[in-house]
Structure 1
Amino acid sequence: MKSGAAGPGRGVPHDMRDELCPACTESDSDHQNDVDTWIACSHCGTWYHVVCVRLTNWDDYDKWYCKTCRDSLPLEPKMRAPRRRSHRARPVTDYAAVQEGKPSDPIGRWTTLLAQYKDWPVRVSRVEGSTWTSQWLSTSLEPLISPTLVPVPTTQDLENPASHIPGMRMPPRHTTIRDVAQLVGPDTHVEVIDVRTQMSSRAWTLSMWADYFETPVAKREKLLNVISLEITGTAMQRMIEAPAMVRENDWVERDWPMHRRPCHADDEARKWPKVQRYVLMGVQGAFTDFHIDFAGTWVYYHVVWGHKMFLFAPPTSANLASYKAWTLSAQQESEWLGDRLQQLTKVEIRTGETMLIPPGWIHAVYTYQDTLVIGGNFLTDHDVAMHWRIEQMEAATHVPRKFRFPHLVRLAWYVAYAWHKRLSHGTSAPPPRIMEGIAQLCKRLELDVVKMETLPSASKGYKAAWDAVPRDVIRDPRALLQELQAHCKSRNVPHKRQRRYYER
């Protein structure tokens, strides 16, 4: 995962990441969503957000000048020279050269791997849609030990391929990218990833994105990808309903107060985690390199139309250590992480199919053909220790805050408060796996309570811990935790998380 400068000029100074540029205003809503993509004037050196100066192809400039300099001096932007096309066959990626630090083409690397490794093992559970219930999630090991795929029944009407999964509603198969743009808003800015560089920009609108997507494959000058368009609060929301199993167990859906979920919130105090309804739009040949979804969330993933391939690795201690080392490595762009991962497995997903990805699984994604996907991230009580483990890894690897689960600790406090109420009012004991999750939740929040009790009130650590507590419902965090921990102790909750089969 990368962030930082784009185009002419040096890298963006770290202390500029949250500043405004000369072309944006305090009220510019796009500013907060694109603080990592800047371009510097090649004459005066002033930095601008690419979204504010309306650049969609910022990485193609060799020299770029701001309006002030262009108006006062005879300056013209200069584009990078196009690469000379070769009619020679592209060579196979030399991984010995990669290990020596020589650069490799990331797109060529993926196509080479697909050609060389056709027989990756396939470890995926295939279940009927009716299997997806809260009971299954709470008591079966199946959803935790491998990705789970729900195929389209042979008798299923493809116009409504999601109806066989309880409570799930998805857009019909004939939905187009232009439809998405109209429903969400054609002028809505969307974060677009350049597959070659893995850099992103919000200079695109959905109308521009639809124009690009409708361009014939052979005429597309770049491979681009959209994987972070969240559509809650738009007209498209009524077309999408996550499976009932997801909604019943999702911490946000279950425990974040409804009156604190405004469709649009300008101030930080009123914002909430909107991560349940993503629209992903990938063109043929696009890929996303190995990653773990923020906070190691569960993911539900439905292909409206198209064809994708996932490479998965379970979150064993060895695999997570390899992933962490690769993330911190200067050779990340030229090193194939798959060589370091154990139990790598391939899963293909096609039109009308739906997949559940367990917490913390490392995965990469390749798009075989143009694809429209609806997906969502969610946290549950079922593997809380993994969520905190990934949270710690994100901090250790310096993942920018914009790529982390929003308001995670505040959400955890709401969950703790809700469980305290349920257990205090005589709710029957939940399944052992859930009680184990509550105990792990307390263990994580204990860290913040200790910060509030020991750190100076002016310190950043104290302020972050204090601000995360929802004071409208929790007045004494320590007392709440002690009572919740007592509930866990009275039910003989195990102190250690049960190991999965792939960890043995």
Structure 2
Amino acid sequence: MELTAVVVRLGGVCVCVCARVRVCVCIIDNDLILCVCFFAPLSSGSDKVIDVIDVARQADSKIKLGEFVKYYYKPHRPKVLNVISLEFSDTKMAELVEVPFIAQKMSWVENYWPDDSYFPKPFVQKYCLMGVKDSYTDFHIDFGGTSVWYHVLWGEKIFYLIKPTQANLALYEEWSSSPNQSEVFFGEKVDKCYKCVVRQGTTLLIPTGWIHAVLTSQDCMAFGGNFLHNLNIGMQLRCYEMERRLKTPDLFKFPYFEAICWYVGKNLLETLKESREDKCQPPAYLLEGVKALIPTLKRWLNREVTEPTSEVPDNIRPNHLIKELTKEIRYQEVSSDGLGGGGSLIMYPFPLFTSSNSCILIFSTVQDS
């Protein structure tokens, strides 16, 4: 069966997709121990040191993967530990987990990151998430406002989801900077908080900027990944700027977020030029995204004067790029002659997967203006 992703756009930019992920590792038949040998290229998977979260204290600590496996299979556990940041793109296990087609198709890193970049390529598309019953991750927005895919191999996760409206984002930033953050359930501070149960064999994609918490209702192993894309550039930039205001440590931000925005700007300039030469009107979401990107790049460039670190790639002339992007946007605005606006239905005919072995969870939304 071939599937098609549908994105609904109504009075603004909407980021909503659905996909199925094929996970070859399912032949493991729920034996987590066999997963260990796929971590680390030198077959030393059980000795790999991983980050775990002590859920009761919401504190990070480190443990060897082999020790975590033993803990996972204990009938009585002294504490609740949760693994949510184990990225395995550089391990043998990466060959067994396939990222949803649409996430690969849309990903900035896959589409725009050059092989000869001075900056290391970000690896954020393949995470192994191992949680025991009652593991909980409090409300958060994934770094850089990235969209997220989750596939539950076994077990169950419950997601609490909040739409990233202007009001909700303001409340979230206030809550995140509050000294008593851990004592307040953020879901009670907003008008609507959606509950979504993701069961074994189901894949969920969370749109750009959605605020969410995750409860592991039973022992669970899942795979997931993050990706930036063109459908909601403005929201991604907004989430990144919020991270800066909240002084989020670099460890918890999208790697080289600013560098990839410069790469994206360079590539989108070529896209706009080609559209102009072919006398084609670019999609409204792309024009809106470039409009959001231009002033952001200007601010970052001005900041370079006072801050020592720079993520402007060496092969990009930043002032020239900003000038050319601005010129192309002005041309598109004139040539569009007032077209656009209002609601529309956009269908992306991406064939996702031909297998029909697992369930599909369609999670749709419309982004508020």
* TM-score between both structures, scaled by the size of structure 1: 0.62
Mapped contact 1:381–1:438 kept (Cα < 8 A): no
Instruction: Give the percent of matched residue pairs that are identical in Structure 1 and Structure 2.
Output: 34
Map of 1:483 onto structure 2: 324
Q: Judge conservation of contact 2:147–2:207 (CA < 8 Å) in 1.
A: yes
Measured in 2, the distance between the counterparts of 1:444 and 1:390 equals 12
User: 5+ residue gaps in structure 1?
Assistant: 1-127, 151-161, 261-268
Quote how far apart the aligned CAs of 1:438 are: 2.2
Q: Does 1:438 pair with 2:290?
A: yes
Aligned to 2:361: none
> Of 171, 177, 181, which residue of structure 1 is paired with 2:25?
171
Partner amino acid, structure 2, of 1:197: R
Number of residue pairs matched by the alignment: 335
- What does residue 447 of structure 1 align with? 299
Residue from 469, 482, 504 that aligns with 2:312: 469
The one-letter amino acid of 1:207's match is: G
Matched residue type, 2:327? A
Change (3 A) 1:387 1:270: closer
C-alpha displacement at 1:418, in angstroms?
1.7
Give, in whole Å, the separation in 1 of the partners of 2:143 and 2:69. Answer: 27
Q: Secondary structure at the match of 1:172?
A: helix
1:227-262 deviation line (CA, Å, top 9, x unaligned): 0010011101111221221112111110001344xx
Q: Pick the aligned partner of 1:222 from 71, 79, 89.
A: 79
Instruction: Write the distance in 2 (CA, Å) between the matches of 1:177 and 1:391.
Output: 35
Alignment-derived partner of residue 68 in structure 2: 209
Offset, 1:379: 0.6
Q: Write the distance in 2 (CA, Å) between the matches of 1:326 and 1:291.
A: 11
Q: Which residue of 2 aligns with 1:231?
A: 88
Shift of 1:364: 0.6
Counterpart AA for 2:51:
E
CA pair 302-193 structure 1, distance change in 2 beyond 3 A: same
Matched, 1:131 2:4: yes
Match among 196, 204, 208 for residue 359 of structure 1: 208
1:190 is aligned to 2:31: no
Q: CA deviation at 1:129?
A: 7.2
Partner Cα distance (1:172, 1:380) in 2: 29
SS at match of 2:78: coil
Secondary structure at the counterpart of residue 446 of structure 1:
helix
Name the CA distance, whole Å, in 2 between partners of 1:304 and 1:346.
20
**2:114 equivalent in structure 1:** 257
Q: Once the 2 structures are TM-superposed, how far is the Cα of residue 357 of structure 1 from its aligned partner?
A: 0.4
CA positional deviation for 1:435: 2.3
CA RMSD of aligned residues (A): 2.8
Change (3 A) 1:365 1:424: same
Measured after TM superposition, the shift of residue 170 of structure 1 is: 4.8
Alpha carbons of structure 1 residues 417 and 369: separation in structure 2 relative to 1, 3 Å: same
Higher strand share: 2
Shift of the alpha carbon at 1:143? 12
Separation (CA, whole Å) in 2 of partners of 1:363 and 1:370: 20
Please report how far the alpha carbon of residue 365 of structure 1 lies from its aligned counterpart in structure 2 after TM superposition: 0.7
8 Å contact from structure 2 (residues 15, 231) kept in 1: no
Q: Which residue of 2 aligns with 1:380?
A: 229
Identify the structure with bigger relative contact order (alpha carbons < 8 Å, sequence gap 6+). Answer: 2
Q: How far 1:417 sits from its partner (Å)? A: 1.5
Identify if the C-alpha distance between structure 1 residues 365 and 141 changes in structure 2 by more than 3 Å, giving closer, same or farther: farther
Distance 1:182 1:142 in 2: 49
Aligned to 2:139, what secondary structure does the other structure show?
A: strand
**Cα displacement (A) at 1:346:** 0.4
Q: TM-score, normalised by structure 2?
A: 0.83
Contact 1:384–1:440 under 8 Å retained in 2: yes
Are 1:346 and 2:187 matched, yes or no?
Answer: no
Give the whole-Å Cα distance in 1 for the aligned partners of 2:367 and 2:267: 33
Larger radius of gyration: 1
2:14–2:232 Cα contact (<8 Å) kept: no
* 2:197 partner SS: strand
